[in-house]
Amino acid sequence: MAALAAAHQRRVDALVADHLRRRSRGERHPIEDFLFEYYSYRPGALRRWHPGWGVRLAGDVTAFGSIRGFAVAETHAHVDPRLAESRSDEVAWIRDLLVATQNRPAALGCFGLHEWAMVYRLPADELRHRQLPLRLGSAGTDEVVERHRIACTHYDAYRFFTPEAVGLNTRRPTLTTRIDNEQPGCLHAAMDTYKWAYKLAPFTPAALVVDCFVLAREIRVIDMRASPYDVTALGHSPIAIETPAGKSEYLHAQRHFADAAAVLRRRLIEVCDAVLA
C-alpha cells in the first residue's frame, strides 16, 4: 500500500512540478493553467492516493482518516458505503451523461472553432490570453469564423462565445440539455473525463483520475495549437485549421482523442455501475 501511494505521488509530482514552480513565482501559462483553474481539483488532491470503491485496505491506514468518505478502523479502511448512498443521485447523473456521450456518434469536423468564437470581434484588451498574439490578427481571425460553419455541442465552451458569435453556432447547448448534446468527437468532452473522474472520487481509483488528467493535458495542447492564438513562444507549432492541411491534422487528433477518451469513459462507467449496484 505504501509503495503504491509513493509511486502515485511520484507520478503526479512529475506532472505538476512545472505548474507549481510557475505558481510560486506568480507566472501564468496560457495552456496548462486551464487544467488547474477551469478544473477545480487541486494538485494536492490529485497527489492523494486512494484505491477506489470496493477495496478494503489493511495495515497502517491512519492516513485515510483525512480522506472524506473513508471509513477507518484500527487496522483497515475502505470507502464508506454510506457515501455511496448519499451520493447515489450524483453518481447516477454522471453515469447517464457518460453513457449518453459514449453511445452517440462522434461529430467530427468542428475544427476547434469554439476557441475562435470566443474571440470573435473581441477588442484586444478583452482577450483571455493577452500575452499571446492572434496568429492572423483580429480581422483575419474574424474572417475565419465567418467563413466556417460553427457547430459546437459543448455547453462549457459555448457559454464563453462572444455575443456576436453566439448566433453563428448551429446548436444552442445549455446546462440542462448537456446530456442531449455531449458527443465523443468533442475535445472538451474528452477532457471532461478528468472532471467526472475527480467528481466521482473517492469511488474512482486515484490512478484512473491521473490517467484522465494526462489525457486532458494532452488535449489541451491540441486545443490551443488549433486556437487563433500564436503558441510558438510556448514551444508549440500552430495547427492552421483555416487550411486543408490544418483541418486534416485536427481531424487526426480528434479521432485519436475520441478513441482514448472512450476507454477512460468505459472505466468511469464501470465505477458508477459498481457504486450503484
> What value does the mean pLDDT of the chain take?
95
pLDDT single digits (tens) 144-191: 999 999 999 999 999 999 999 999 999 999 999 999 999 999 999 999
Q: Strand pairing partners for 79?
A: 70
**DSSP string covering the chain, please?**
-HHHHHHHHHHHHHHHHHHHHHHHTT---TTTTHHHHTS---HHHHH-----TT--EES--GGGGGSTTEEE-SSEEEE-HHHHHHTHHHHHHHHHHHHHHHHSPP----TTHHHHHTTTT--GGG-TTTTS-BTTHHHHHHHHHHHS-B----HHHHTTS-HHHHTTBS----STTHHHH--TT-HHHHHHHHHHHHHTTTSS-HHHHHHHHHHHHHHHHHHHHTSSB--GGGT-----TTSHHHHHHHHHHHHHHHHHHHHHHHHHHHHHHHHH-
Q: How confident is the model at residue 78 (pLDDT cuts 50, 70, 90)?
A: confident
Specify whether the CB–CB gap between 145 and 117 falls below 8 A: yes
Dist CA 45 CA 25 (whole Å)? 21
pLDDT at 195: 98
pTM for the full predicted model: 0.95
Contact yes or no for 72/65 (Cβ under 8 A): yes
Residue 1 has pLDDT above 80, yes or no: no
- Domains identified in the chain, total number: 1
Structural domain that includes position 142:
2-276
Cell, residue 141: 481571425
39 contact partners, CB below 8 Å, separation of at least 6:
194, 195, 198, 216
